[in-house]
Homo-oligomer: A and B are copies of this chain.
Amino acid sequence: MPELRKDPVIGRWVIISTERGKRPTDFPPEPRGRKSKLCPFCPTNESSTPPEVYSIRQNGSGPDSPGWTLRVIPNKFPALRIEGDLNREGEGIFDKMNGVGAHEVIVETPSHELDLVNLENGEVKNVIIAYRERIIDLKRDPRFKYIMIFKNQGEAAGASLEHSHSQLIATPIVPKRVLEEIAGAKQYYEYKERCIYCDIVKQEISQDIRVITQSDKFLAIAPFASRFPFEAWVLPKEHDSCFEHINDNDAESLSRMLKETLKRLSTALSDPPFNYVIHSAPVENGCEKEYHWHIEIMPKLTKVAGFEWGTGFYINPTAPEDAAGFLKEIKID
């Protein structure tokens, strides 16, 4: 019998369609191959991107020249523009405003050949630090209400360039999905006077059927109401609403946990396309007690179809308990 499960925060229902019960080998790998045309993210091509806004450089090299190990640049084709005011206005019954915001690219490594999962721990830590520093910087601009970090890897997951990178978008409004998450967390807090994510962390550790891996500071789970097969979340065990509060030690610990989780996914599923998104509190927080930042990793193994578009309710052919079981058993170095 398929099971309906409700996401405890957002109230979204998911169908765990156990009869279709899919194992890792039921998802054939997407064809991938490195193409060889000029890559704007490779060293020596720095001039083909807008000037860098942040970089980590080992040898005192100048900006927008080779010698970096990580580089953050404005997106050349931004979804939102940094200049200008919002100018909210109506058009009859419709509402609109200017697309003001920031859209940056975090180039995670100078190597065109390596994915995030192949980097050294220290390099992944630098990626985490770069996320933190860019958020802290952009929070100073009062026009931005939300700052989202995400990564698309693989063409099927929406990556248009193959050189390993993440993105940051700062938006002039708090997106609806984020507001819903916060509203759900606040509702729980009002009733229980506890953070719902802290309760999830506690229950997952004690039940130990959806845990993928854990360390002192972080927990990786297949969430109870997983929308997608092999969906994985990484949560800090200690309560904090904002990702950018992370200190250097915890960034080190997170980089190990993120890398290990991605490694388990890439080994189990032959390097699948995926997205991850850092869920963190809005700039004008107001939910310090109730919200708890975390990372949601979504391998792209199934197609989102009409039913999901119409209902916002997902059909997932792999029970999260099975997914966690498979991922846990993977042998990694």
Question: Which of A34-42, A43-51, A168-176, A322-330 participates in binding chain B?
Answer: A168-176
| Copies of this chain present | 2
Contact A200 B303 (CB under 8 A): no
A172 to B, closest residue via Cβ: B4
Question: Which of A14-22, A52-60, A133-141, A232-240 participates in binding chain B?
Answer: A14-22
CA separation between A187 and B92, bound complex, in Å? 17
Question: Which of A108-116, A119-127, A151-159, A248-256 participates in binding chain B?
Answer: A151-159
Nearest chain B CB to A258 CB, angstrom units: 14
CA separation between A5 and B99, bound complex, in Å? 9
* Chain A residues proximal to chain B, CB less than 8 Å: 1-6, 8, 10-13, 15-17, 19-20, 77-81, 84, 91-99, 146, 148, 150-152, 155-159, 167, 169, 171-173, 175-178, 180, 196, 199-200, 203, 207, 224-225, 275-279, 296, 298, 302-307, 309-313, 315
Set B167, B177, B196: member contacting A93, Cβ < 8 A:
B196
Contact B306 A150 (CB under 8 A): yes
> Would you list 20 pairs from A and B whose C-beta atoms are within 8 A, ordered by A residue?
A1-B99, A2-B80, A3-B97, A4-B98, A5-B95, A6-B95, A8-B93, A79-B315, A93-B203, A148-B311, A151-B306, A158-B306, A171-B313, A175-B312, A176-B312, A177-B310, A275-B306, A277-B307, A277-B309, A298-B309
Contacts A79-B315, A93-B8, A203-B93 given; indicate if A99 touches B306 (C-beta within 8 A).
Answer: no
A306 to B, closest residue via Cβ: B150
Contact B313 A2 (CB under 8 A): no
Which 6 residue pairs spanning A and B have beta carbons closest together? A158-B305, A2-B99, A150-B306, A177-B312, A277-B310, A175-B311
Contacts A207-B92, A275-B306 given; indicate if A175 touches B19 (C-beta within 8 A).
Answer: no
CA separation between A9 and B171, bound complex, in Å? 21
Contacts A303-B157, A311-B148 given; indicate if A96 touches B277 (C-beta within 8 A).
Answer: no
Nearest chain B CB to A93 CB, angstrom units: 5
Q: Which residues of B contact A151 (CB under 8 A)?
A: 306
CA separation between A306 and B210, bound complex, in Å? 23
Nearest chain B CB to A165 CB, angstrom units: 11
Q: Which residues of B contact A173 (CB under 8 A)?
A: 4, 13
Set B93, B99, B159, B305: member contacting A152, Cβ < 8 A:
B305
Contact B158 A303 (CB under 8 A): yes
Contact B310 A279 (CB under 8 A): yes
Nearest chain B CB to A243 CB, angstrom units: 12
A224 to B, closest residue via Cβ: B94
Contact B95 A303 (CB under 8 A): no
A98 to B, closest residue via Cβ: B1
Q: Which residues of B contact A312 (CB under 8 A)?
A: 175-177, 180
A207 to B, closest residue via Cβ: B92
